[in-house]
Chain A
Amino acid sequence: ETGVTQTPRHLVMGMTNKKSLKCEQHLGHNAMYWYKQSAKKPLELMFVYSLEERVENNSVPSRFSPECPNSSHLFLHLHTLQPEDSALYLCASSQTPTGIYGYTFGSGTRLTVV
């Protein structure tokens, strides 16, 4: 496989559930990111990992918990979410933490919180 792979593609969860999103990159990139994409809004950066170390956390609620066990894998653990958390969650990777040469995005996980 090549590129950035995200699973699952779709997820429906209740507000009391716990679930995890998974991301895997096969590009040898050093940085990985979680973004939230809501309708008619710019991409919102959630977390940045560089060489498995978290370098940025954009005031994200604690109900979102990232994990980066190695430079190829990234998880987003979800618990007690709210309906307003329904969105497309995108994982991305890049050669450098600042992403100035561009990101490679996965296809995203469409999350619906009911």
Chain B
Amino acid sequence: QKEVEQDPGPLSVPEGAIVSLNCTYSNSAFQYFMWYRQYSRKGPELLMYTYSSGNKEDGRFTAQVDKSSKYISLFIRDSQPSDSATYLCAVSGGSYIPTFGRGTSLIVHP
């Protein structure tokens, strides 16, 4: 079993939709959870960072962690064409390097 599973997509949605991006992980020791956004021909940029369980909101973005299910989510409200990118989740136990998912390609069409 891979440490982090992420559906590569592509996920195609109309502008204004609520987007849900998800990852599952296998190691219950992971406590740090990150979402990165990567535009075409660019490096990933840190979007959201959360520690332990719960929700974290930043504008139109909400990161959610369910440690009991080993499931993390990123929600995007009122999606825009500029949100079209690949979204990578990353998880870490704190004493070792984060493990990344494969990334989900998101396309928001006008």
The interface of chain A, by Cβ under 8 A from chain B, is: 4, 6, 40-43, 45, 48, 56, 90, 92, 97-108, 110
Contacts and interface: CB of A to CB of B under 8 A. Distances in A.
B46 interface: yes
The binding surface of chain A is classed by DSSP as loop
B92 A98 contact: yes
Interface of B: 4, 8, 32, 34, 36, 41-46, 49, 88, 92, 94-103
Contacts, number: 54
B interface, by DSSP: helix, strand, loop or mixed? loop
Given A43-B88, A43-B100, A98-B96, A103 B8 contact: no
A9 B4 CA distance: 29
A48 B97 contact: yes
